[in-house]
Amino acid sequence: MINNPSVLHAVEIANSIVPNEDLPDPYKLCAELQIDLVTNKSLKKDGYLVCCNGNKMIFVSATITNKSRKKFVISHEIGHFFMHGESLYGCTNVSDISNITINSSRQEHEANLFASEFLLPSLSVKNILPNRDLCIDDIKMIAHIFKMSFTSCAIKAVALSNTEEETVLYYEGRILKWYASAIRGLKKVFVPNRCPINLMAQQPVCCCTGVWESMYTGTVRQEIINIYGNQWLVLLSGTPKYHY
Ligand SMILES: [Zn+2]
C-alpha cells in the first residue's frame, strides 16, 4: 500500500472530482480540472504539464500510442498539477517501472505513484486478489477489469499479494531489466541478473527446484509469459528465503 501522504491526498482529491466512475478516467479528470489535452504532436519527452497565465495544458507525445500508457502519462502530469507547484514539467521515462529501475527525482517518483494509485486503486485491486499465490491469469483478469497494461497490473498485484511470496522478473533475452517482489527485504544481489533458464525452451507453467535458490527454498512455481519479441515476464512463487 502507498503511504506517501501527499500522493494519498492527491488521489483523494482526484476521486472526489470524478466520483462513482466505473473506471478511473484521466480524460474526464482533465476536463473537470479545465486542463487542455494535446496528444497529436511528437515530442522529445513523454509528456509535459504547462501552467501559464491561467491556462493549463497537458501534452502527451503522439509517439505514445498504447492506450493504457497514454492514460498513465496523463495521470502522471495531473499528479504534478495536484502535488507540485512548478508551472512547467517535462517528463521522460514515465511509467510505474521507472519507480523500480530509475533513480528518479522525488517529484517524478510521486507523480508515478499518483498515476499508479489513481488508475489501479490499491483497495479495489486488493479486493479481487485471491487468498493464495498469484498466477498469470489473476493478473490478466486485473488488466482486463481496469483496462491497464499487464505489466502495471503485475507490479501492483505482487505489491499487494496476500501471501507475500511472489516475484515478477522481466528479462530481455536473458538479461534482467527489472523485478518486483512481494518478499520484503529481497535485495537485487539475490535476483539472477542472467536468467538461469532458457525461456524459449520452457513450459509456460512448471514447478522447479534448485533454479531460483538464491530467492526461494525448495520447490518454486514458475510461470512464463512472452510479452513481445525477446521480452519475457517470469512469475515465481514459493517459500521465500529472507535475507535480513
Ligand atoms: Zn513528471
Report whether pLDDT(210) > 80. yes
Among 119, 149, 164, which residue terminates a domain?
119
- Ligand 1 centroid, distance to 107 Cα (angstroms): 7
CATH of the domain at 188: 3.30.450
| pLDDT tier at 14, thresholds 50, 70, 90 | very high
89 and 102 belong to one structural domain: yes
Among 119, 148, 180, which residue terminates a domain?
119
| pLDDT tier at 194, thresholds 50, 70, 90 | very high
- Ligand 1 centroid, distance to 73 Cα (angstroms): 8
Question: Any bridge partners for residue 19, and if so which?
Answer: none
Q: Look up the domain containing 79 and give its range.
A: 5-119
Determine the average pLDDT of the residues in 171-179: 95
| pLDDT tier at 82, thresholds 50, 70, 90 | very high
11 and 104 belong to one structural domain: yes
What is the predicted pLDDT for the residue at 244? 63
- Ligand 1 centroid, distance to 76 Cα (angstroms): 6
- Ligand 1 centroid, distance to 47 Cα (angstroms): 7
Report whether pLDDT(159) > 70. yes
- Ligand 1 centroid, distance to 4 Cα (angstroms): 17
216 and 155 belong to one structural domain: yes
- Ligand 1 centroid, distance to 210 Cα (angstroms): 42
- Ligand 1 centroid, distance to 94 Cα (angstroms): 7
- Residue 123: how many CB atoms within 10 A of its CB? 9
What is the predicted pLDDT for the residue at 2? 79
102 and 136 belong to one structural domain: no
- Ligand 1 centroid, distance to 90 Cα (angstroms): 6
Determine the average pLDDT of the residues in 35-55: 95
| pLDDT tier at 185, thresholds 50, 70, 90 | confident
* Pairing assessment for the beta strands 55-60 and 47-52 based on DSSP bridges: antiparallel
What total of structural domains would you count in the chain?
A: 2
Return the percentage of the chain with pLDDT > 70, whole number: 99
Measured distance CA(163)–CA(81) in Å, rounded = 36
Q: Which three cell numbers stand for residue 205?
A: 507453467
Measured distance CA(195)–CA(187) in Å, rounded = 16
In the sheet with 166-172, reading across from the earlier edge strand, the strands are: 175-181, 166-172, 231-240, 216-228, 205-209
- Ligand 1 centroid, distance to 14 Cα (angstroms): 17
